[in-house]
Structure 1
């Protein structure tokens, strides 16, 4: 297949993904927003960006499709998409692209000036513009992305500045996206030319252990060179790092900053430096165990994200002089035959001793994802009402698997048959799964933090659970949760709230999960491949309450930021909303729900430590819990949900039944807090 044919096929896949994502809606705005979400996902997957939020904004001479603001407000990414959605891999003209960058730049300019003040607060664009305005004094670098599923011919776009802020422009057309996702590496390889970057040759000590499949270079890189690298490549430089830069919240980062500012000459002695993987090193060998490093391919900092981010921040925020800063670096070149995807995480985990690390391998090769993939290829879903044909839910543990599987079918008839069995609307990515599971686990504030942060948190939870592998029952229930989420998205879209759909959906379903004690009949949803009329109707009512809650934030604070706070969830969780009797009749009994969730739900799997916690809480007498509940009511010392849980724990203890993991966790905290406040039971 020629490159043009591959691009045509890739363009058609994007077109069909958008149609499936927008639920075949003819609404051009919905499809444009779906296109934005999909291509932001591509850029995040290949490591070009940390994350992004689809957020359409259009006014005279201005347009923006989405944004991402780093946690310390230092870096802003703005996205403008030009969707063709014709599957033809046609040309997107220079005029369209130039106009796109100009309108995106104008939006940035007006947002910094405060355009949100004339914008309706209920719309997504208000939050985006307001966030940029609030961060205007902190932003040091803005990246403008114009993304299209057409082919572009522009090769160079000059960088600009605005009010002292560095602005770089990045064009991603169909060809560039396709090359990035199909390169086999999952990202665009970084090429670093040290001969150009360094004022003097970079001399290194070299060692190549026999039959080890790698060689190591030990070097010292000037601080200003590291800043320049981070400026050029951003988060792509840290793609294989097992965690992102944690800003300046921890003592380690604060210590790094203090050394940079107060004792830069001591940095080499105090700091452990960076661990880097690379390939294709260009070296000048001096024959004495030293070499000069000229350039490196696929340069990745796998340990040292804290150091890199702190140095970059000190340069931008504190105008630190980095001329005397020397950063120790170990560069490991994976030689032919070595597996960089397997070796890099091990280097990262072994070298990472500046901050405590408790996390899983975030790659798609994790056993959990492999098992989900296996199940999705073998389990047939029941036919939907009125249909006879069964289908499968396709789990995509690595981006592009669905398209690759579809491409294995050579003829149109074969592809049509494949799509009949594996409908695009029944494709679930690993980031989708994290969103569905965390919503059911009543963590909407984490889901609201974006796809990548939600996924990392989900994998951290999975890692703490130990060796959990899904079985058929878990897969079926996970798909039921996916159906519940996707159907709720459609219900919320029909409401036309004007913005915040993602937040409304996760808060709606988290409340439903909490208030029903997870007694929604997931098995019935799986068997029906849809929702009952009673459940759909109540979700339609409930989402109105969720929308009203999140858009009436305390003190008029940013709605998007408010949704990311646990306090937002706690106040909505306690809201009294009557569940209709017709839906109550459909709920599982508490005993059946507890049995199913304990056996199959990921959030209820217990470690040895959690089992001990459950035993400790179960050993507390019913009388103690009832007394605590009464004391809390009389003194108003605890929140209503804590008093309610205390009473529930008393009933469980009286019936000789153990609490769930989550009940035990909250119960022990409640008991400790109550005794500090004067409870003597």
Structure 2
């Protein structure tokens, strides 16, 4: 495992690489990366927004670098950063901490008093201050959190700050330093992530398994509200659904039960299915502490009870919610176990297969191409490199953890920082080309959730859709996305703000123009081959970016908040109305429909061949012993009728050793039987 010093160096290099390749200020790159971490831990929602404001002079200096609002819990988070950008870990002094927090407090107070009236309406700072003002005026802010984020480390002498309120609203302080980020890196999916202290009676279920243990218990409505109040979406970071509040029929039913017959809640509601990495008990056998509690089914129940008390002011003290909780025996299997429990748990509202994207073969296949394919050499370079797909943040650093210094250097040369692509960034570049700029503008995590639906539908229609060509085109779209980011930052017309929105709408417009106006397909192989955007395409992008920026920063009457306007479908409709005569995309970037179909046919044929060999190898390497266990499983009366006579005959022959090297067709049949048994719960 990397030390905190090694993590700090890697973290800094990631920031600098992202900033350079995307045309960001280093501080912007830092802010975005840290906020994504805070979203993953549940500290922020997916709607966090960057918006700088700085006023040093005068009696009340003010500072803020972004904000977030948890609509459900009414929590306003305002962030400020102290970015040192040094190779060694700096110490954040108490003086710096107090100075930063005082500035952001002054900013919030001023925003409550109408600071937005003094700002330019098209600036991100205006959107931020107006948003805060409007939420305050409507009394929607229940709690304020001040975040100081830094690549430094808190001084050892610092203890705490007295948390007085602002305008009668509870105030909390959060300091996110390099140690916080490091601990988050090393403790992902471990039982040390957080602990819930409770006093719950429980009944252990007599299950003979070394994989997990299960218990039955219950929460009172007030207990459930307190847990969600303290931990929020950290309880659901591995859950499959976003809260629906009272929009669905189930939630309306929950509310009606709470209002009219709270004592019947236990009988009417299916309760909660949860997992934990560890339970601690008192001397009476009651649960006193739950490590890493995850509500994998029952998020709507939790949300509805919380909203009933906090928003509708209903009494939930007589509500009782049953809980089935399973404790995973092995830390390394925790994530997969949670996903399986979530997938098979009874649900109150339909959960689509796409909600379990973490287990999608997409990641495995995309990673395989990432590890196997070398990118073409460009810009006179004589060193071949790869594009590293990082499904989990920190994976790039972890792969180097046990390498020698020489091997680390070789790894970094072959997988440069500038060519690391994480799943959320990939979703943004893909969704932008899929003409979903409004989705991209809602944030990286929201974009990723939408991308999960798209990919799942794609794979359900065609399980061979993720080909080598798809990988290359996707990387080309990443290159395009980063090039547009950099182009905007360097443009003389760019005054700052709304760069992310301009990027998303520019790429979506280019996609729309190619397909709808030109009736062509874009030839991404031109970008993959050169590994950059050539000047002739840059000239086109210069025109489009400027027009898009002018359009989104001058929204129709009634849509003064540019950030919110860009999240609406209406904004995309307005952009498509633009008539830019100067667009002349060089013909080499176009493909005809016939060419696209031919390329697709070729790559699918090649993938079928590769997949066939992989499956044959898997069947052979699984071994006769495990195939014999599968044969015994499907020989059981209740299972025998679920497969055909042909399938059973092939399984019997391979289990008895009569087939040593199955054909491709036989291997496919055997592999499907293997998957069927595993999905039904067989443990080999």
Same fold? TM cut 0.5: yes
**Map 1:101-120 → 2, pairs under 5 A:** 101-120=101-120
- 1:479 paired to 2:481: no
**Map 1:62-211 → 2, pairs under 5 A:** 62-72=62-72, 74-136=74-136, 137-152=139-154, 153=156, 154-185=158-189, 189-195=193-199, 202-211=200-209
CA-to-partner distance for each residue in 1:2-61, whole Å, 9 max, x for gaps?
A: xxx812111111211111111179x9x811111001111222234443332222222242
Task: Give the Cα separation in 2 of the matches to 1:250 and 1:332.
Answer: 28
1:547 to 546, 549, 567: 549
Displacement, 1:444? 0.7
1:343 to 328, 337, 355: 337
Query: Which residue matches 1:569?
Result: 572
The answer as to whether partners of 1:480 and 1:526 remain within 8 angstroms in 2 is yes
Q: Secondary structure at the match of 1:22?
A: helix
Q: Secondary structure at the match of 2:586?
A: helix
Task: Give the Cα separation in 2 of the matches to 1:537 and 1:573.
Answer: 20
The answer as to whether partners of 1:214 and 1:338 remain within 8 angstroms in 2 is no
Task: Give the Cα separation in 2 of the matches to 1:139 and 1:23.
Answer: 37
Displacement, 1:187? 8.7
Displacement, 1:300? 1.5
1:230 to 228, 231, 238: 228
Query: Which residue matches 1:6?
Result: 3
Task: Give the Cα separation in 2 of the matches to 1:573 and 1:597.
Answer: 29
Displacement, 1:544? 1.1
Query: Which residue matches 2:414?
Result: 421
CA-to-partner distance for each residue in 1:403-436, whole Å, 9 max, x for gaps?
A: 223444432x554443332221111001111111
Q: Secondary structure at the match of 2:63?
A: strand
CA 1:111–1:269 in structure 2 vs 1: closer, same or farther (change >3 Å)?
Answer: farther
The answer as to whether partners of 2:343 and 2:356 remain within 8 angstroms in 1 is no
Contiguous gaps of at least 5 residues in structure 2: 605-684
The answer as to whether partners of 2:21 and 2:486 remain within 8 angstroms in 1 is no
| More off after superposition, 337-346 vs 366-375 | 337-346
CA 1:53–1:596 in structure 2 vs 1: closer, same or farther (change >3 Å)?
Answer: farther
Task: Give the Cα separation in 2 of the matches to 1:497 and 1:594.
Answer: 43
CA-to-partner distance for each residue in 1:271-313, whole Å, 9 max, x for gaps?
A: 2221111132122475xxxx42211111121111112122222
Q: Secondary structure at the match of 1:120?
A: coil
The answer as to whether partners of 1:275 and 1:301 remain within 8 angstroms in 2 is yes
CA 1:600–1:123 in structure 2 vs 1: closer, same or farther (change >3 Å)?
Answer: farther
Task: Give the Cα separation in 2 of the matches to 1:142 and 1:385.
Answer: 50
Q: Secondary structure at the match of 1:555?
A: coil
1:275 to 247, 257, 273: 273
Query: Which residue matches 2:533?
Result: 531
Query: Which residue matches 2:349?
Result: 355
Displacement, 1:362? 4.7
Task: Give the Cα separation in 1 of the matches to 2:332 and 2:522.
Answer: 49
CA 1:307–1:361 in structure 2 vs 1: closer, same or farther (change >3 Å)?
Answer: closer
Task: Give the Cα separation in 2 of the matches to 1:188 and 1:104.
Answer: 31
Q: Normalising by structure 2, report the TM-score.
A: 0.80
Q: Secondary structure at the match of 1:66?
A: strand
The answer as to whether partners of 1:22 and 1:34 remain within 8 angstroms in 2 is yes
| More off after superposition, 424-433 vs 179-188 | 179-188
**Map 1:154-553 → 2, pairs under 5 A:** 154-185=158-189, 189-195=193-199, 202-211=200-209, 213-284=211-282, 291-336=285-330, 339-360=333-354, 362=356, 364-411=358-405, 414-465=407-458, 466=460, 467-468=463-464, 470-495=466-491, 496-517=494-515, 519-553=521-555
Displacement, 1:336? 4.5
Query: Which residue matches 2:668?
Result: none
The answer as to whether partners of 1:375 and 1:472 remain within 8 angstroms in 2 is yes
The answer as to whether partners of 1:213 and 1:338 remain within 8 angstroms in 2 is no
Q: Secondary structure at the match of 2:495?
A: coil
Q: Normalising by structure 1, report the TM-score.
A: 0.81
CA 1:527–1:151 in structure 2 vs 1: closer, same or farther (change >3 Å)?
Answer: same
CA 1:550–1:316 in structure 2 vs 1: closer, same or farther (change >3 Å)?
Answer: same
Task: Give the Cα separation in 1 of the matches to 2:190 and 2:512.
Answer: 38
CA-to-partner distance for each residue in 1:576-607, whole Å, 9 max, x for gaps?
A: 22254463564333433465579879xxxxxx
Task: Give the Cα separation in 1 of the matches to 2:409 and 2:207.
Answer: 53
The answer as to whether partners of 2:193 and 2:292 remain within 8 angstroms in 1 is yes
| More off after superposition, 173-182 vs 385-394 | 385-394
CA 1:110–1:417 in structure 2 vs 1: closer, same or farther (change >3 Å)?
Answer: same
The answer as to whether partners of 1:406 and 1:415 remain within 8 angstroms in 2 is yes
The answer as to whether partners of 1:276 and 1:299 remain within 8 angstroms in 2 is yes
Q: Secondary structure at the match of 2:557?
A: helix
